[in-house]
Amino acid sequence: INVKDDKGLQELLHDVHHADIAEILDEVNGDEATYLVRLLDSEQTSEAIMELDEDVREKLLDQLTPLEIAGEIEEMDTDDAVDMIAELDDDIQRAVIDQIEDEEHKADIREMLQYDENSAGGLMAKELVRVKETWTVAGCVREMRRQAEEVTRVHSVYVVNKNDELIGRLSLKDLLTSTTTTKISEIYIPKVDFVNVNDPAEDVAKLMQKYDLEAVPVVDENKRLLGRITIDDIVDFIKDEADKDYQMAAGISQDVDTEDSILTLTRARLPWLFLGLLGGVGAAAIMGGFEEVLQNHVILLLFTPLIAAMAGNVGVQSSAIIVQGLANDDVKGSIGNRLLKEMLLAMLNGAALAIVLFFFVWVSEGAVNYAASISISLFVVIIVAGIIGTFIPLFLHKRGIDPAIATGPFITTSNDIFGILIYLYIAKLILGI
Tell me the closest approach of the beta carbon of residue 242 to its own copies, in angstroms: 4
Query: What's the rounded Cα separation, in Å, for the pair 431 and 236?
Result: 57
| Burial zone of 253 (CB within 10 Å; 0-12 exposed, 13-18 middle, 19+ buried) | middle
- Cβ atoms of 375 and 239 within 8 Å: the answer is no
Contact segment (CB under 8 A) with its own copies among 57-65, 94-102, 350-358, 395-403 equals 350-358
Contacts of 286 (CB under 8 A, 6+ apart): 417, 420, 421, 424
DSSP conformation class of 306: H
CA atoms within 13 A on the CB side of 357: 21
What mask, x for binding its own copies by CB under 8 A, covers residues 181 to 220? ----------x-----------------xxxx-x------
| Burial zone of 163 (CB within 10 Å; 0-12 exposed, 13-18 middle, 19+ buried) | exposed
State which amino acid sits at residue 111. Answer: E
Binding of its own copies by 227 (CB under 8 A): no
State which amino acid sits at residue 106. Answer: K
Contact segment (CB under 8 A) with its own copies among 92-100, 107-115, 194-202, 265-273 equals 265-273
Contact segment (CB under 8 A) with its own copies among 101-109, 111-119, 120-128, 232-240 equals 232-240
Contact segment (CB under 8 A) with its own copies among 38-46, 112-120, 180-188, 338-346 equals 338-346
Q: Which residues of 283-313 are buried (b: 16+ CB within 10 A; e: fewer)?
A: beebbeebeebbeebebbeebbeebbebbbe
CA nearest to 322, candidates 403, 248, 381, 240: 403
Report the side by side order of strands in the sheet with 166-170: 129-132, 157-160, 166-170
Binding of its own copies by 408 (CB under 8 A): yes
Tell me the closest approach of the beta carbon of residue 395 to its own copies, in angstroms: 16
Q: Which of 127, 373, 409, 426 binds its own copies (CB under 8 A)?
A: 409
Contact segment (CB under 8 A) with its own copies among 55-63, 95-103, 104-112, 238-246 equals 238-246
Binding of its own copies by 384 (CB under 8 A): no
Binding residues for its own copies restricted to 80-139, rule: CB under 8 A: none
Binding of its own copies by 14 (CB under 8 A): no
Binding of its own copies by 321 (CB under 8 A): yes
- Applying CB under 8 A, the site for its own copies has a residue count of 106
Distance of CA 193 to the CA centre of its chain: 24
Binding of its own copies by 280 (CB under 8 A): yes
Binding of its own copies by 173 (CB under 8 A): yes
Q: Which of 49, 256, 384, 387 binds its own copies (CB under 8 A)?
A: 256
- Cβ atoms of 141 and 185 within 8 Å: the answer is no
Query: What's the rounded Cα separation, in Å, for the pair 370 and 431?
Result: 8
Residue closer to its own copies (CB basis): 107 or 273: 273
Residue closer to its own copies (CB basis): 54 or 259: 259
State which amino acid sits at residue 15. Answer: D
Binding of its own copies by 359 (CB under 8 A): no
Contact segment (CB under 8 A) with its own copies among 2-10, 90-98, 113-121, 245-253 equals 245-253
Tell me the closest approach of the beta carbon of residue 418 to its own copies, in angstroms: 12
Binding of its own copies by 363 (CB under 8 A): no
Binding residues for its own copies restricted to 26-65, rule: CB under 8 A: none
Contact segment (CB under 8 A) with its own copies among 98-106, 107-115, 146-154, 194-202 equals 146-154
| Cα separations in angstroms, 323 against 206, 302, 320, 409, 411 | 16, 33, 5, 15, 12
Query: If you compute the radius of gyration of the chain from its CA atoms, what whole number of angstroms results?
Result: 30
Q: Which of 78, 304, 373, 414 binds its own copies (CB under 8 A)?
A: 304
Q: Which of 88, 160, 345, 392 binds its own copies (CB under 8 A)?
A: 345
Binding of its own copies by 24 (CB under 8 A): no
- Cβ atoms of 268 and 248 within 8 Å: the answer is no
Binding of its own copies by 246 (CB under 8 A): yes
Binding of its own copies by 309 (CB under 8 A): yes
Indicate if the alpha-carbon torsion angle 172, 202, 389, 415 is positive or negative: positive
Binding of its own copies by 250 (CB under 8 A): yes
Residue closer to its own copies (CB basis): 306 or 430: 306
Residue closer to its own copies (CB basis): 84 or 96: 84
Contact segment (CB under 8 A) with its own copies among 82-90, 131-139, 169-177, 424-432 equals 169-177
A 10 A CB-CB count for 368 gives 11
